[in-house]
Amino acid sequence: MTTASPAVSARRGATLGWLRRLGTPKVIIIVVVAGLIGYLALVPLYYLIWGTFFDADGFTLGGFARAYGDPRVGDMIGNSLWFAVGSAVLSLVVGTALAYLNVRTDVPFKGLFFAASIIPLIIPGILYTIAWIFLASPDIGLLNKAIEPILGPGFFDIFTVWGMVWVEGLHLSPIVFLLMVAAFRSMDPSLEESALMSGASRWQVFRRVTMPLTRPAIVAAVLVMVVRSLESFEVPALLGLQNGIYVFTSRIYFVLRSYPPDLAAAGALAVGLLVLALIGVTISNLVGRSGKTYQTVTGKGFRPRPMELGKWRPVMGGVIVLYFFLTVVGPLFVLLYTSLLKFYQAPSAEAFASMSLDNYRQLFDISDAMTALKNSLALGLGSATLVMILMAVGAWIVVRSRIPGRQLVDHFSFVPLVIPGLVLGLALSFVYLRSPVPIYGTIFILLIAYCTRYMPYGMRYAVTSMHQISAELEESAQVSGASWWQTFRRVLLPLLSPGLLAGWIYILVVSFRELSSSILLYSPGNEVLSILIFEQYENGQFTVLAALGVVMVLTLAVLVIIAYKLGAKVGLRQD
Amino acid sequence: MLRINNLVKTFDGERRRRRDSRASSAQEARVFAVNDVSFNVENGQLFTLLGPSGCGKTTTLRSIAGLERPDSGTIEVGDRVLFSTNEGKKSVNVPANERGLGMVFQSYAIWPHMSVFDNVAFPLQVKKRGDRLGRKEISERVMRVLETMELAHLADRQATKLSGGQQQRLALARALVIEPPLLLLDEPLSNLDAKLRESLRYELKRVQRELGITSVYVTHDQVEALALSNAIAVMRNGNIVQLGRPRDIYENPNCRFVAEFIGTSNFVSGNVVAKDGDRYTVNTIDGQLALDSAMSLPLGTDVIVSVRPEVLEVSTTSRAGEVPNEWKGTVLTRAYLGDSLDHVVGVGKHELRTRGNPSTSIEPGTEVYLRMDPAKLVLVPVD
Ligand SMILES: Nc1ncnc2c1ncn2[C@@H]1O[C@H](COP(=O)(O)OP(=O)(O)O)[C@@H](O)[C@H]1O
Ligand SMILES: [Mg+2]
């Protein structure tokens, strides 16, 4: 008895020790975060596939037959590709040209570039599209009214594929601009200078050296833009449906809005769109990886003297101003103008005389408007905070831990990148319609949708800043006696905070304007701002909508400014 | 004080495995970063791991710190087992944060978001609740260490706003504040410019000797190793090839690798043709050399004779017959180095570098005589 007890208690001690080791904050936090990331990424996909291929009788391809048996499906696929490729090419040409002008030449008005690349980010796609309807609709467009005396009525028609390409391409161009500015900046200028010294002209240098070296960045940008346009919902829904021009996203929306909604057919379309997006992202990853083989970043490259445009300088200056007017001033002006009118009309002495703030006053009376504003704020703040907290730990797992399978966490967190917003909305409704937990029909389903959609961006921000922190900073804390949690909280988090804050701002902004997932998941009482604007557009309440849009843009601007101020304060303590 | 036995650490040779898919077994694909390393460090001594880049010094040091988990071996500090995989006994691996050692990283790893004071206070603040000092004691202790390192006046400064030398002392202060039994240093001077490096080298030596703190020092710089250490282990490909006092290693390298790595040397290969007590005679293609060695090698053994440049005496006059080991040659080039002057002398097939007083400078093309003291020539077995 007494001889046996030490062995027994030793075994019990070992088990207890094992449990205690598993119960540390480190293990619990890591398991919870990795589990959440996997859950958010995989469960919607699983249910989407399940809901598409299985009905009450088991496996079926009925959804596919109904979705792709429609005679107009060829048109739909054609439109989708035309729209996506057209928008990508437009945004690429405009964005790359502007980036080159900005980085490598002495073009005037460089200050406008910053505004032109940041402001469109805070004009939600739906407002941007509506603004262009106000500008270039054949019946009521201000531009058409302005040129009517010369070219006759309805010269511009925004409700065509060309109109869709124009709006989407312009809205995407600032993203290409930012990508290409980074590519041009990271290129070693001595590569171009040595070509110049070999006697090549500026144009030859651009064509023979600059372009080949930035080709990986360009190809990646094209593919990313194609995928984003494929996934775009606002533009095809508002501009295309009017004339029966369907693309994947608007078709899915249409199928779900018909009575009775055919979930399986919508799922089949969603799977098709998912496959297209997956192909695009895969190719762009492959290109991106092979591009790294000729890394041109040298780190100590000084900025070369900018190329002098000479007599082209005023022309290019004019182009920049025009671009600024098209992307920033025009849309914002038309929204502001409309928001002051009693009913929508072209500018005239009469129109200006009738201006008032009535629409804004009315916003306070619409209880929906205040609820939507509150919901949008709560969702933006909530999803940004949740995502960045999760991804801070996720990035640690991926970059620093040696846990086997850590790369899975990375891959899972990037899965939502290929899921179009509308498809995610559909997939989540598949999940939570069946779930016994009452989430469907509450605001939490929107929170889950936003967290899922923006997880990849949060991960990218967190991983990037994790890579910038030398592992020795963390190890020296460990050697100093700090536990994992102490190291994370006192060394890693403060050092990560600028990157986490940048990610937080980005997610706040994009979730504040989210429409394509929300439109399938909201329920009355849980509207967000973009949904409300969409509804008002459908009801023809243009002037109130414009006022709401102005409020939305202003709120976003204020949020971004506060966040940047906060960020500057954090940044200040860094150096 | 520190005892390391049969330490082995391998890494996945992932890149190699992917490129060469024919690698027959996983074993082949592994990189033996540290391959069966054993050594002891006496109390209060500074022990240096010296070797070229990639030889496993850092991996050894990080294994002691607990930042890498070795495959096998034991690591003990004092009477505490920090790591052990001894078969039969229970395996031990104390986490890095419970080892209580001090470490200075190559990059210094100063936390940029904390002040100088907070950096040093951190190791005291994160101690377990029971062991933690009060705020006042922590503050006193930190200030005392900062004073030793002459950083007290900078206590409130943001840690990033320090010069290179100050950062190095801050890293040292942070490592020393918990009064660790063992201090680990990974190339702590390699980030500094040459001038500063030299002055901080003596500063480091002074602090180490004054505090009497047992230290393991990693460097690839032989001058640093010779100047600082009580004992040196020269490493190559994950193994220790020679272990000894600095003087032993410099004067009696046990292989060509060590002789080449520590300082510069001329190598003459030959064959043992006669042996009389400690006096060997070695036949080389350019003549015979007499030299003294305590090694016992049979006649006919292939050997290398290591001739340090400062051992070669250059003269324009011959003393053949009076002294052993005189070779005739021609000056090929010379180089003035400030505190010394080098000649390169061609003797038959060999080119020998000499180092001497700058007052002796001989025109290239001149015929000269090279004399070598048999006691200062080193016999090195062929690897
Ligand atoms: N994390 C790692 N993964 C794979 N190989 C490593 C890793 N760390 C070190 N090595 C390899 O182990 C060997 C020894 O490295 P290291 O100890 O850093 O050398 P040293 O400090 O002497 O320059 C090298 O060949 C290196 O490539
Ligand atoms: Mg090293």
Our mutation pick for probing the ligand 1 site, out of B58, B187, B241, counting the most ligand atoms within 8 A of Cβ, is B58
pLDDT exceeds 50 at position A3: no
What pLDDT is attached to residue A18? Answer: 65
pLDDT digits 0-9 by tens, A318-327 = 988 998 888 8
Q: Does A572 touch chain B (CB under 8 A)?
A: no
Q: Does A490 touch chain B (CB under 8 A)?
A: yes
Mean pLDDT confidence for B47-59 = 94
Count of CB pairs separated by less than 8 Å, A with B: 74
* Residues counted in chain A: 575
Pairs from B86-93 (Cβ < 8 Å, separation ≥ 24): B93/B66, B93/B69
For CA atoms A409, A411, A417, A421, give the dihedral sign: negative
8 A C-beta contact, residue A301 and residue A190: yes
With CA atoms as reference, report the closest residue to B151 among B127, B129, B168. Answer: B168
Maximal CA-CA distance, chain B: 79
Q: How many domains are contained in chain A?
A: 1
CA-closest residue to ligand 1 atom 4 = B11
- DSSP secondary structure of B122-143: HHHHTS-TTTPPPHHHHHHHHH
Same domain? For B97 and B189 the reply is yes
Provide, as residue numbers in chain B, all residues whose Cβ is less than 8 Å from the Cβ of A470.
Answer: 107, 109
User: Residue written as tokens 């470490």?
Assistant: B103
Indicate the pLDDT class of residue A79, thresholds 50, 70 and 90. very high
Q: What is the CA radius of gyration of chain A?
A: 27
Last residue of a domain, one of B208, B232, B257: B257
Question: Which residues 110-149 of B are in CB contact (within 8 Å) with A?
Answer: 111-113, 122-123, 126-127
Question: Which residue segment(s) compose the domain that B336 sits in?
Answer: 264-381
pLDDT digits 0-9 by tens, B272-310 = 999 888 899 999 988 889 998 888 888 888 889 999 999
Pairs from B350-359 (Cβ < 8 Å, separation ≥ 24): B350/B266, B350/B268, B350/B286, B352/B266, B352/B307, B352/B312, B353/B264, B353/B266, B353/B309, B353/B312, B354/B309, B354/B310, B354/B312, B354/B313, B354/B314, B355/B309, B355/B310, B355/B312, B356/B310, B356/B312, B356/B313, B356/B314
Residue B124 covered by a domain: no
B140 CA to chain A: closest CA distance, Å? Answer: 18
Give the CA angle between residues A209, A213, A214 to the nearest 5°: 120
pLDDT digits 0-9 by tens, A97-152 = 888 888 888 888 887 877 777 777 778 899 999 999 999 888 888 888 888 778 77
**CA nearest to A472 within chain B:** B109
Suggest the residue from A26, A472, A480, A573 to mutate for an interface test with chain B (most B CBs closer than 10 A): A480
Residue A16 covered by a domain: no
What pLDDT is attached to residue A302? Answer: 45
Name all residues whose Cβ lies below 6 A of ligand 1.
B 11, 31, 33, 51, 53-59
Residue B143 covered by a domain: no
H-run or E-run covering A477 = helix A471-479
Residue A10 covered by a domain: no
Same domain? For B196 and B225 the reply is yes
A42 CA to chain B: closest CA distance, Å? Answer: 29
User: Using the beta-carbon criterion (under 8 Å), do A478 and B178 form an inter-chain contact?
Assistant: no
What pLDDT is attached to residue A419? Answer: 86
Q: Which ligand approaches the C-alpha of residue B11 most closely?
A: 1
Mean pLDDT computed over every residue of chain B: 88
Provide, as residue numbers in chain B, all residues whose Cβ is less than 8 Å from the Cβ of A479.
Answer: 65-67, 96-97, 99, 101-103, 175, 184
What pLDDT is attached to residue B368? Answer: 93
Tell me the C-alpha distance between A399 and B13, whole Å.
19
pLDDT exceeds 80 at position B55: yes
CA-closest residue to ligand 1 atom 1 = B11
Q: CATH no. for residue A378?
A: 1.10.3720.10
Same domain? For B249 and B276 the reply is no
Same domain? For B278 and B215 the reply is no
Cα dihedral A70→A75→A78→A83 (10° resolution): -110
Same domain? For B187 and B291 the reply is no
Helical residues (DSSP H) of A292-366, grouped into ranges: 313-324, 330-339, 349-353, 358-365
Residue A182 covered by a domain: yes
Tell me the C-alpha distance between B41 and B215, whole Å.
8
Indicate the pLDDT class of residue A557, thresholds 50, 70 and 90. confident
**CA nearest to B98 within chain A:** A481
Indicate the pLDDT class of residue A301, thresholds 50, 70 and 90. very low
* Residues counted in chain B: 383
Mean pLDDT confidence for B143-152 = 92
CA-closest residue to ligand 1 atom 8 = B59
The pTM score is 0.78
pLDDT digits 0-9 by tens, B81-100 = 999 987 667 788 988 888 99
Residue B18 covered by a domain: yes
What pLDDT is attached to residue A191? Answer: 67
Partner residue opposite A482 with nearest CB, options B66, B126, B160 = B126
Residue B157 covered by a domain: no
pLDDT digits 0-9 by tens, B306-347 = 999 999 999 999 888 888 889 999 999 999 888 889 999 999
Task: Work out the number of other CB atoms within 10 angstroms of the CB of residue B236.
Answer: 18
Residue B55 covered by a domain: yes
Q: Does A489 touch chain B (CB under 8 A)?
A: no
Looking at ligand 1, which atom is closest to the CA of residue B187? 21
Q: Please, what is the angle between helix A529-538 and helix A542-574, to 10°?
A: 160
Last residue of a domain, one of B218, B241, B257: B257
Partner residue opposite A481 with nearest CB, options B67, B97, B105 = B97
Last residue of a domain, one of B232, B257, B282: B257
Same domain? For B95 and B203 the reply is yes
8 A C-beta contact, residue A113 and residue A98: yes
Residue A232 covered by a domain: yes
Residue B311 covered by a domain: yes
Residue A15 covered by a domain: no
Pairs from A398-402 (Cβ < 8 Å, separation ≥ 24): A398/A459, A398/A463, A398/A466, A399/A463, A399/A466, A399/A467, A400/A466, A400/A471, A400/A474, A401/A30
Same domain? For B337 and B374 the reply is yes
Indicate the pLDDT class of residue A227, thresholds 50, 70 and 90. confident
What pLDDT is attached to residue A81? Answer: 92
Residue B219 covered by a domain: yes
Mean pLDDT confidence for A533-537 = 91
Mean pLDDT computed over every residue of chain A: 84
As a three-state string, the secondary structure of A544-574 is HHHHHHHHHHHHHHHHHHHHHHHHHHHHHHH
Same domain? For B243 and B288 the reply is no
Q: Does B99 touch chain A (CB under 8 A)?
A: yes
Q: Does A469 touch chain B (CB under 8 A)?
A: no
Interface predicted TM-score of the whole assembly (ipTM), two decimals: 0.74
Cα A508 to averaged position of ligand 1 atoms, centre (Å): 42
8 A C-beta contact, residue A175 and residue A226: no
Indicate the pLDDT class of residue B36, thresholds 50, 70 and 90. very high
With CA atoms as reference, report the closest residue to B289 among B310, B311, B258. Answer: B311
8 A C-beta contact, residue B50 and residue B220: yes
Q: What percent of chain A has pLDDT over 90?
A: 31
Same domain? For B74 and B223 the reply is yes
Indicate the pLDDT class of residue B109, thresholds 50, 70 and 90. confident
Task: Work out the number of other CB atoms within 10 angstroms of the CB of residue A42.
Answer: 12
pLDDT exceeds 70 at position B190: yes
Same domain? For B217 and B335 the reply is no
Q: Does A481 touch chain B (CB under 8 A)?
A: yes
Residue A149 covered by a domain: yes
Q: Does B102 touch chain A (CB under 8 A)?
A: yes
Q: Which residues contact A410 (CB under 8 A, 6 or more apart)?
A: A394, A398, A459, A463
Q: Does A575 touch chain B (CB under 8 A)?
A: yes
Q: What percent of chain A has pLDDT over 70?
A: 89
pLDDT exceeds 90 at position B76: yes
Question: Which residue segment(s) compose the domain that A147 sits in?
Answer: 36-567
pLDDT exceeds 60 at position A61: yes
Helical residues (DSSP H) of chain B, grouped into ranges: 14-19, 26-29, 57-65, 116-125, 135-148, 164-176, 194-211, 222-228, 246-251, 256-261
Indicate the pLDDT class of residue B380, thresholds 50, 70 and 90. confident
Alpha-carbon distances of A19 from A8, A12, A15, A28, A319, rounded to whole Å: 17, 10, 6, 12, 68
Q: CATH no. for residue B241?
A: 3.40.50.300
pLDDT exceeds 60 at position A461: yes
CA-closest residue to ligand 1 atom 5 = B11
Q: Under DSSP, is residue B160 helix (H, G, I), strand (E, B) or coil?
A: coil
CA-closest residue to ligand 1 atom 17 = B56
Give the CA angle between residues B376, B241, B297 to the nearest 5°: 50
Tell me the C-alpha distance between B11 and B34, whole Å.
9
Strands A54-55 and B72-77: unpaired
What pLDDT is attached to residue A31? Answer: 92
Give the CA angle between residues A242, A248, A251 to the nearest 5°: 50
Q: How many domains are contained in chain B?
A: 2
What pLDDT is attached to residue B21? Answer: 44
Same domain? For B198 and B317 the reply is no
Residue A348 covered by a domain: yes
Q: Under DSSP, is residue B12 helix (H, G, I), strand (E, B) or coil?
A: strand
CA-closest residue to ligand 1 atom 26 = B54
Mean pLDDT confidence for A477-494 = 92
Q: What is the CA radius of gyration of chain B?
A: 25
Partner residue opposite A480 with nearest CB, options B106, B174, B184 = B174
Same domain? For B220 and B326 the reply is no
User: Using the beta-carbon criterion (under 8 Å), do B126 and A475 form an inter-chain contact?
Assistant: no
What pLDDT is attached to residue B383? Answer: 64
Provide the residues around ligand 2 (an ion) whose CB is within 5 A.
B 58
